[in-house]
Structure 1
Amino acid sequence: MKNHLFFFFFLLTVFAASGQQVRRLGMEGSYGFIIPHSSELRSISESNPFGLSVHYQLMKQDKKNWDACNCFHYLGIQASYHNFGNRDVLGSAYHLSGTFEPILWKNGPFSLTVLTGIGLSYLDQVYDPILNPDNLFFSSPLSFLGFVNPKLEYRFGDDWGVNLSLAYNHISNGGQSQPNKGINYPMMGIGINRYFESSSFPKHEKSILPRTVQWYMEIAYTNRESNWSEGRKPVFTVLGGFHKNLTAINGLGVGIEFTKDYALEVENSRIEALMPAPFIAHHFLFGRFDFNQRMAVYLNKPMGYHDFIFYQRYSLMYRMVQNFSMGFSLKVHGHVAENIDFRISYRF
């Protein structure tokens, strides 16, 4: 009996030592404005969104979770409601998102974090050619939400914290239906967190930065509505490039991608819809996570396909095993999102 009790308490001790974690429940109110990113949107952008969000987050403090991003970070889920201040045209949005929030700086009771998230958004007022022709922001009730939200928190006591935040929100259906201008709306917020555990931060050594450039290849797939035939057509992308770390979390790189878009109409041959585009990229590198922003220039594109000669691509990848990563990206022309794709990457 004594041996069993000793073994039981030994397991509890080991679990407690290896399972250090912090859980918290938070609530935040926010208020902002809509960015009219084209002349067609000015008349319906003169309102102020407001909303409320509730989130639950977990931070594990062991070395394995530290290595995922070379930092302490929260993972969680967030439910939020945003009213766009124009009930008849824009209505409201109901969001459910997964979140990632690394701690960038901490000094005593103060900490600076960046909450990022992506999820689904249900919109109760969308474009209709007869009933709601003015809403060019979104045309499908189910869309995608992405946001970046820096936060400054002050902890008082072991159980509570308050924060100020500035969020940039984007909703788009990823080109699944038109019109799809996408809505961009910054918001300021104030929130409160209830902590269920409190512990000191252990010391972990950061990974050594690679001294050489990191080469990689990616393949991607999506589909979207065709402008020359009925139904949805596939869009394939292949790219190659490299990046080099400048700091522990920043890197710069270049590459070229080739996209074959079967949704585009061509005059003579499908080769016209093969679009090579060299790009430059900035990488936020958090251990296994790679959030990169690319600026690409078309070397070739079909006649009538956008007035832009460049586009942006925002990509989030997670390294699953030694050299393979999986994730998704959003292609954007100016402020207008075109599509979201799924991609697989291999690094050399």
Structure 2
Amino acid sequence: MWNEKKKSESKLSFKLVKKLVIIYCSFFLISNTFGQEIKRFGLDSGYGFIISHSQALKPLSQSNPIGVSLHYQRMNLSQKSWNACNCFHYLGLQLSYHNFQNPEVLGYAVSITGTFEPILWQKKSRTFSMVTGLGPSFLSKVYDEANNPDNIFFSTPISFLLFLSPKLEYTLKDNLGLHLAFAYNHISNGGQSQPNKGMNYPMLGLGLSHFFIKSPFPVYGKESISQDWTFYLETGLSTREGEEGRAPNFSVALALKKPLSNINGIGAGIEINKDYSLEVEKNRWEALMPAPFISHHFLFGKFDFNQRMAWYTNKPDNYHDFRFYQRYVLSYLLTRHLTLGVGLKAHGHVAEHMDLRFGWSF
């Protein structure tokens, strides 16, 4: 019975990996048809370690993940594309394989991520950029109460990979580049199922890029950015697993932000969290959690990646030992006032959940 189950899981894993490879290759071949849109194709390797962010995870964090990834990217050199970011930037799709080198408990992850890579600095043959990526990840080994109780990193075979990676690239030839990158990777299911400690694993990587089309960058002037304080209202929506199944979780934030330069800003505000999945003793008001916060903003034209540090003024007694939490939000300005984005809430190194976020600036 156990062998049949293992064979079934292996077949399912192989079929899913095969589909992901076919999707990736199809995307590449279709894009190749339109030569004017293709820019470069990359191959990367990586080696890292697992961060042990709780005592229970120390025995599981002794292995060193290794990985390989294929990366297709294109850059639009138009004025319109420049204005969206106030910089030249790549958009791409990455297929990655990360082996955690603990096959019986942790297995491996196969992920497809959409990527955004703004160019932060360039001089002659050297380029410094920052790659961010988000997408679904298939995990070969997850928590199982009977068969894999030690893996408290992951509890669902489909989770999400989020990474941030500064990258230094050196052009060897007109169509070939060598790059060194440091990636901070995080995989979790966004709080959709427990246990969900989530895995944080930095990796140092070396890779090659082949340029199919490489044109000189045109010169555009940067749009002037107002350095006035901006007031905005933002709400986040998601669901979390509770004692009685999935329950709504939402937050409302009132905040101010002020750009300090073309790419940096600061802010502050208050966020009110309401989580219906939490147990309460008397009434639901116990699960109302106001939290003032301060924030830093990376500003790239219409993109805003902000990191918030918040402090609970009130929370249920059985809800985390931490008084502080972080929220990471990536948003895009759809219209003059409306923003759409995604957020990740975490307590220290432990991710709690992801949500969809809408904002309105005044």
Give SS of 2:59's match: helix
* Structure 2 residue aligned with 1:140: 156
Kindly name which structure, 1 or 2, has the bigger radius of gyration based on alpha carbons. Answer: 1
Deviation at 1:69, TM superposition (A): 1.0
CA separation in 1, counterparts of 2:302 and 2:37? 20
RMSD across aligned C-alpha pairs, in angstroms? 1.1
1:196 equivalenced with 2:222 (yes/no): no
Matches within 5 A, 1:219-234: 219-227=235-243, 230-234=244-248
Amino acid at match of 1:112: F
CA separation in 2, counterparts of 1:339 and 1:185? 18
CA separation in 2, counterparts of 1:54 and 1:213? 41
* Structure 1 residue aligned with 2:29: none
CA separation in 2, counterparts of 1:244 and 1:107? 30
Matches within 5 A, 1:249-288: 249-288=263-302
Deviation at 1:149, TM superposition (A): 0.9
CA separation in 2, counterparts of 1:36 and 1:21? 42
Give SS of 1:35's match: coil
Amino acid at match of 1:154: Y
Matches within 5 A, 1:48-197: 48-197=64-213
* Structure 1 residue aligned with 2:344: 330
Q: How many residues align?
A: 328
Amino acid at match of 2:174: D
CA separation in 1, counterparts of 2:173 and 2:108? 36
Higher helix share: 2
Q: Does the Cα contact within 8 Å between 2:239 and 2:247 map onto a contact in 1?
A: yes
CA separation in 2, counterparts of 1:224 and 1:198? 46
Q: Does the Cα contact within 8 Å between 1:22 and 1:198 map onto a contact in 2?
A: no
CA separation in 1, counterparts of 2:208 and 2:317? 52
* Structure 2 residue aligned with 1:303: 317
**1:182–1:52 Cα change, 3 Å:** same
Gaps of at least 5 residues in structure 2 are 1-34
Gaps of at least 5 residues in structure 1 are 1-18
Deviation at 1:267, TM superposition (A): 1.2
CA separation in 2, counterparts of 1:173 and 1:318? 23
Instruction: Give the one of 192, 195, 216 matched to 2:232.
Output: 216
* Structure 1 residue aligned with 2:355: 341
Residues 162-217 of structure 1, C-alpha deviation per residue, up to 9 Å, x if partnerless? Answer: 11111110001111111111100011111101101111111111111213101100
CA separation in 2, counterparts of 1:213 and 1:21? 38
Amino acid at match of 2:233: M
Q: Does the Cα contact within 8 Å between 2:232 and 2:361 map onto a contact in 1?
A: yes
Amino acid at match of 2:141: Q
Give SS of 2:105's match: coil
Deviation at 1:302, TM superposition (A): 1.2
Q: Does the Cα contact within 8 Å between 2:274 and 2:287 map onto a contact in 1?
A: yes
Residues 91-115 of structure 1, C-alpha deviation per residue, up to 9 Å, x if partnerless? Answer: 0000000000011111111101111
CA separation in 1, counterparts of 2:282 and 2:203? 48
Give SS of 2:314's match: coil
Q: Does the Cα contact within 8 Å between 1:285 and 1:291 map onto a contact in 2?
A: yes
Deviation at 1:157, TM superposition (A): 2.1
Give SS of 1:41's match: helix
